[in-house]
């Protein structure tokens, strides 16, 4: 009778989600099968792992059975792999082979050919991330940086199945990582006041970057010519991005929001010489490229 008084607990306005779906890029070992015979496979595996020592241990593994038509004893194979501390996360196979592997609990993946990368398109002024200049040691304002775009790192091509980390048995999830656009190449000098932003990819400039010019990329920045302006790599948070140049003389360099103004001349080995700039922890390292 009557309404029970429900305690009015103040629940937090924003309920934190218990989990979230993001993209990841995975590096995996591809175990290519050349035989269907279980014993032969297990022996070969034993020998290979013995020779390799601990090198492959604990690596995620994709089993490539695309060359085998005969039936494979999947449960036995998978258990053998696990015994060697190899973690099967996917299979490459077609037809019946694929079905059999699925029943054994493997996800079908397609490492296929390198996706054709769409050409980079120039970004408009308002797309340039504000995160490109954040004072050193200031906490990055929450919410301005989008989730780290690892897909932008360019080296991963054929090997890693983008969704391998997710639930087994499911096929490629709907939001599979989009192929990063091809690096943006600028083949003219960049003058004072000009600014170029390579979104989701690397920027390559062939020519001088004058004082007062800005070169920005979500990926790496390469300048084949004097770099005299401002260079900002990893503009949306990729701390592994780097700045490369054949002639170092910049006004300012920044990686993933950590920046340094170059007020005085750099040491002789670096000034106007080929160099790489990378982020190590929270500080920028400037290293010579020449021997």
Provide the binding-site residues for other proteins, judged by CB under 8 A: 188-194, 208, 210-213
State which residue, 42 or 190, has the beta carbon closest to other proteins.
190
**Residue with smaller CB distance to other proteins, 107 or 209:** 209
User: What is the side-by-side strand order in the sheet with 275-280?
Assistant: 184-186, 203-206, 221-227, 242-248, 275-280, 283-288
Q: Which is nearer to other proteins, 156 or 194 (CB)?
A: 194
Closer residue to other proteins in complex, CB, 200/251: 251
Minimum distance from residue 140 beta carbon to other proteins (Å): 31
Query: Nearest approach, Cβ of 195 to other proteins (angstroms)?
Result: 10
Q: Which sign does the torsion angle of CA 198, 203, 206, 211 carry?
A: positive
CA atoms within 13 A on the CB side of 186: 27
Minimal distance, residue 150 CB to other proteins, in Å: 34
**Smallest distance, Å, CB 224 to other proteins?**
14
Nearer to other proteins, 228 or 236 (CB): 228
Smallest distance, Å, CB 252 to other proteins?
Answer: 16
Rounded least distance, CB 165 to other proteins, Å: 44
- When the beta carbons of 134 and 248 are compared against other proteins, the nearer one is 248
Report whether 107 contacts 91 (CB < 8 A).
yes
């Amino acid at each position: 009778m009557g309404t029970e008084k429900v305690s009015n607990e103040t629940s937090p306005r924003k309920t934190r989600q218990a989990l979230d779906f993001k993209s990841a890029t995975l590096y995996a070992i591809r175990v290519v099968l050349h035989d269907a015979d279980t014993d032969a496979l297990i022996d070969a595996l034993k020998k290979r792992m013995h020779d390799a020592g601990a090198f492959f241990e604990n690596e995620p593994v994709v089993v490539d059975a695309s060359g085998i038509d005969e039936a494979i004893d999947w449960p036995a194979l998978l258990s053998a792999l696990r015994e060697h501390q190899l973690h099967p996360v996917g299979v490459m196979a077609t037809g019946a082979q694929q079905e059999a592997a699925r029943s054994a609990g493997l996800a079908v993946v397609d490492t296929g050919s390198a996706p054709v990368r769409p050409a980079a398109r120039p970004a408009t002024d308002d797309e340039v991330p504000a995160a490109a200049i954040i004072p050193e040691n200031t906490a990055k304002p929450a919410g301005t940086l989008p989730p780290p775009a690892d897909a932008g790192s360019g080296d991963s091509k054929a090997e890693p199945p983008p969704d391998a980390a997710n639930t087994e048995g499911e096929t490629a999830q709907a939001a599979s990582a989009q192929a990063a656009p091809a690096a943006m190449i600028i083949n003219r000098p960049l003058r004072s006041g000009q600014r170029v932003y390579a979104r989701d990819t690397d920027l390559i400039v062939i020519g001088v970057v004058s004082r007062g010019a800005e070169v920005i990329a979500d990926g790496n920045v390469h300048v084949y010519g004097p770099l005299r302006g401002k260079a900002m790599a990893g503009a949306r948070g990729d701390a592994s991005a780097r700045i490369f140049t054949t002639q170092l003389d910049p006004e300012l360099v920044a990686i993933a929001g950590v920046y340094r103004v170059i007020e005085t001349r750099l040491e002789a080995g670096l000034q106007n010489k080929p160099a790489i700039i990378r982020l190590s922890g929270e500080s920028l390292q400037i290293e010579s490229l020449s021997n």
